[in-house]
């Protein structure tokens, strides 16, 4: 079975298309969202999602989150002495979602359509595909998140053509996509974004407001306190979608500290962040060569667009009332499931041909003779960003020096005028007949296909000598042996068994609340935990479940009492 997966910065989720509609797949705790959090406990066991998050409150060094931001980089995370890359951490999440989907559907799931931010570069896409492979999933298609959301909004269902702007503000990234639907073809016109802007930044703003009021700096707080403060800021931020003011309360140095914040005050402090939404919106319009008057619809996706401040800012800035009726937490996964159904040629769904654009410029390095002795290295774009793919372009260049016997075509990706500031994807060396500079012409052809497969050909015009290299999404693709090797490494890391998940989650949550509780609350937690431990040791499954429910009830009561205080 082929499923759709939204591998998010903050949360991940799987969905499938069955009986003519999208179904969200619940995880092992029966929740629709799985936090993109991984932890390794002291026994070396891998914890995922909510359980990992709970464990991480008391053991912050054993937990990793926001690793989507470092996909495709060399960043390594050390969790209780286990070394893991962002791909491996993502693979753990994917593996957990795959298992949940198999349990839910009652069949094996070995293929997926996985979404990525439209602005992800080649390395980041490659890393996502590798993560899928490491989780035992064949990645059938990498779909841009905004394109998936548009599918979830049913763009493409009416016979009318529509021009739509998708604004996606998730936990860690902001993407703007302009797409047009016309006669069964969904064409992406332009993508722009900010890889370092997301809902998390709004949470951090609230943390800073809290610290500023109390004359605190980051260094004054322990990791634990910072974690608690982050949690309180996150709760406070989310409560702004339904109320105009909120109280943040945290235990600092053993005493409770509370501050009340109003939505207006928060909005004012977020202004610099909101202003960063403007630039990519303007850039996407410029790149698509249209104005706001050409936009029929704006759709808001990503959890952070729940903030009323963002909705009104977008409306003020664009003059268009944005749509946000599809649950922003699930729209990407819903669309990925629709795309998966199209891939499977599900008869309940009409195929929409998705055309995409190349989200970055591809080019090469050339020497420009500026008439002085200092020859300048310059970037020569061959395929400009936002060109509809598939595409093929040729540029003619010439030898730069007298008696040159070889040319090197460096294959670069990026927008900088300076070649070294762009990403080097590969290179080609080509022999040329020796002669005066400028005598030999070389045609360089870049072809970029729908699967982000880049083929570069270079041909010496006089001799007809031609060389080609294919740089694909999977160019850094691991060999079968390497995949097996990493697979072994990951399977050696035992994932917490599905059936034990709810118990572990309850234990970690009780540990956390025990630490922050006092007096009679502590005694109640202690009592329930002792009984729960006894049941885990000696009880039947039913008794364990009953005691767990009782423990969770006590924990809910204690935590919710805190929430009343918070709001």
Residue numbers at the binding site for ligand AMP (CB under 6 A): 8-11, 170-171, 198-200, 203, 234, 237-238, 241, 302-304, 306-307, 329
Q: How far is the CB of 493 from ligand AMP (least distance, A)?
A: 25
Of 295 and 307, CB closest to ligand AMP: 307
In the complex with ligand AMP, which residue's Cβ is closer, 307 or 442? 307
- Closer CB to ligand AMP, 11 or 422, in the complex: 11
Nearest to 532 by CA among 513, 551, 552, 519: 551
- b (16+ CB within 10 A) / e for 99-122: bbbbebbeeebebbbbbbbbbbbb
How deeply is 391 buried, as exposed, middle or buried, from its count of CB atoms within 10 A (0-12, 13-18, 19+)?
A: middle
Place of tokens 């977008």: 314
Inter-residue contact 478 to 489 (CB < 8 Å): no
Minimum distance from CB of 117 to ligand AMP (Å)? 10
- Closest contact distance (angstroms) between CB of 12 and ligand AMP is 9
Distance CA 313, CA 202 (A): 14
CB of 559 to ligand AMP, least distance (A): 18
From the CB of 307, what's the least distance to ligand AMP, in Å? Answer: 4
Q: Find tokens 């005493």 and name the residue.
A: 255
Q: What's the min distance (Å) between Cβ of 564 and ligand AMP?
A: 18
- For ligand AMP, which is the closer residue by CB, 128 or 361? 128
**Which residue, 216 or 238, is less far from ligand AMP as judged by CB?**
238
- Please state, as a whole number, how many other Cβ atoms lie within 10 Å of the Cβ of residue 24: 17
Compute the distance between CA of residue 252 and CA of residue 65 in angstroms, rounded to an integer.
24
Helix 541-566 with 223-239: angle, nearest 10 deg: 70
Q: Which is nearer to ligand AMP, 204 or 397 (CB)?
A: 204
Query: In Å, how far from its chain's centre is CA 271?
Result: 24
Minimum distance of ligand AMP from residue 328's CB (angstroms): 6
Residue 8 Cβ, how far from ligand AMP at the closest point, in Å?
A: 4
What is the rounded CA–CA span in Å between residue 159 and residue 309?
A: 34
Closest CB to ligand AMP among residues 302, 359: 302
Question: At closest approach, how far in Å is the CB of 170 from ligand AMP?
Answer: 3
Q: Which is nearer to ligand AMP, 238 or 453 (CB)?
A: 238
CB distance 396 to 441 below 8 Å? yes
Residues 6+ apart with CB under 8 A from 289: none
Q: Residues 275, 317: contact at Cβ < 8 Å?
A: no
The least distance separating ligand AMP from the CB of residue 87, rounded to whole angstroms, comes to 19
Q: Which is nearer to ligand AMP, 304 or 502 (CB)?
A: 304
Q: Where are the beta strands (DSSP E) in 335-477?
A: 353-357, 362-368, 376-383, 388-389, 391-398, 406-413, 423-431, 441-448, 454-460, 466-471
Q: Which is nearer to ligand AMP, 175 or 440 (CB)?
A: 175
CB of 448 to ligand AMP, least distance (A): 28
Q: 202 or 448: whose CB is closer to ligand AMP? A: 202
Q: In this structure, are residues 140 and 340 in contact, taking their beta carbons and an 8 Å threshold?
A: yes
Helix residue ranges, H only, 214-349? 223-239, 263-269, 271-288, 308-318, 331-343
Q: Closest separation between CB of residue 375 and ligand AMP, Å?
A: 47
Judge contact between 399 and 438, C-beta under 8 A. yes
Counting beta carbons within 10 angstroms of the beta carbon of residue 161, is it exposed (0 to 12), middle (13 to 18) or buried (19 or more)? exposed
DSSP secondary-structure letter at 473? T
Residue 390 and residue 357 in contact, taking contact as beta carbons nearer than 8 Å: no
**Burial zone of 241 (CB within 10 Å; 0-12 exposed, 13-18 middle, 19+ buried):** middle
In the complex, minimum distance from the CB of residue 15 to ligand AMP, in angstroms, rounded to a whole number? 14
Q: Are 107 and 1 in contact (CB under 8 A)?
A: yes
Cβ closest to ligand AMP, residue 328 vs residue 381? 328
Closest CB to ligand AMP among residues 171, 193: 171
CA–CA dist 75, 59 (Å, integer): 20
Q: Are strands 46-48 and 34-35 parallel, antiparallel or unpaired?
A: unpaired
């Amino acid at each position: 079975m082929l499923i759709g997966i939204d591998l998010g910065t903050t949360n991940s989720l799987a969905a499938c298309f069955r009986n003519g509609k999208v179904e969200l797949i619940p995880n092992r705790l029966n929740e629709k969202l799985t936090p993109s959090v991984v932890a390794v406990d002291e026994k070396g066991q891998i914890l995922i999602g909510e359980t990992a998050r709970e464990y991480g409150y008391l053991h912050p060094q054993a937990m990793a989150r926001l690793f989507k931001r470092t996909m495709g980089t060399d960043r390594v995370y050390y969790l209780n002495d286990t070394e893991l890359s962002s791909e491996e951490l993502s693979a753990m999440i994917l593996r957990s979602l795959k298992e949940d989907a198999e349990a839910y559907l009652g069949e094996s799931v070995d293929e997926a359509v996985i979404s990525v931010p439209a602005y992800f570069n080649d390395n980041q896409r490659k890393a996502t595909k590798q993560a899928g492979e490491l989780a035992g999933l064949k990645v059938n298609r990498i779909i841009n998140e905004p394109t998936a959301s548009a599918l979830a909004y049913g763009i493409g269902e009416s016979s009318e053509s529509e021009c739509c702007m998708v604004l996606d503000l998730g936990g860690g990234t902001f993407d703007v996509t302009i797409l047009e639907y016309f006669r069964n073809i969904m064409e992406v016109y332009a993508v722009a974004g900010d890889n370092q802007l997301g809902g998390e930044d709004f949470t951090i703003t609230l943390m800073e407001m809290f610290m500023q009021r109390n004359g605190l700096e980051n260094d004054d707080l322990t990791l634990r306190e910072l974690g608690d403060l982050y949690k309180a800021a996150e709760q406070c931020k989310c409560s702004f979608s339904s109320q105009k003011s909120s109280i943040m309360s945290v235990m600092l140095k053993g005493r409770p500290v509370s501050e009340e914040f109003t939505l207006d005050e928060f909005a004012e402090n977020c202004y610099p962040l909101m202003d960063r939404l403007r630039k990519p919106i303007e850039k996407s319009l410029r790149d698509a060569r249209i104005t706001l008057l050409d936009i029929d619809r704006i759709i808001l996706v990503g959890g952070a667009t729940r903030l009323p401040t963002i909705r009104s800012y977008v409306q003020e800035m664009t003059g268009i009332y944005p749509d946000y009726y599809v649950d922003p937490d699930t729209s990407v996964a819903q669309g990925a499931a629709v795309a998966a159904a199209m891939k499977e040629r599900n008869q309940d769904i009409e195929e929409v041909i998705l055309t995409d654009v190349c989200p970055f410029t591809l080019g090469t390095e050339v020497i420009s003779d500026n008439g002085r002795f200092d020859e300048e290295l310059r970037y020569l774009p061959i395929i400009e960003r936002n060109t509809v793919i598939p595409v093929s372009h040729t540029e003619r260049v010439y030898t730069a020096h007298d008696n040159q016997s070889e040319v090197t075509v460096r294959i670069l990706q990026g927008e900088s005028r300076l070649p070294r500031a762009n990403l080097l994807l590969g290179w080609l060396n080509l022999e040329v007949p020796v002669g005066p500079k400028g005598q030999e012409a070389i045609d360089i052809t870049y072809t970029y296909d729908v699967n982000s497969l880049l083929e570069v050909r270079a041909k010496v015009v006089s001799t007809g000598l031609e060389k080609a290299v294919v740089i694909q999404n999977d160019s850094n693709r691991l060999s079968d042996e390497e995949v097996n090797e990493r697979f072994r490494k990951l399977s050696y890391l035992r994932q917490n068994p599905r059936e034990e998940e709810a118990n572990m989650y309850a234990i970690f949550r009780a540990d956390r609340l025990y630490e922050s509780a006092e007096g009679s609350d502590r005694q109640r937690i202690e009592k329930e935990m002792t009984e729960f431990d006894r049941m885990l040791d000696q009880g039947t499954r039913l008794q364990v479940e009953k005691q767990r429910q009782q423990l969770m009830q006590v924990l809910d009561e204690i935590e919710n009492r805190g929430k009343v205080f918070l709001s």
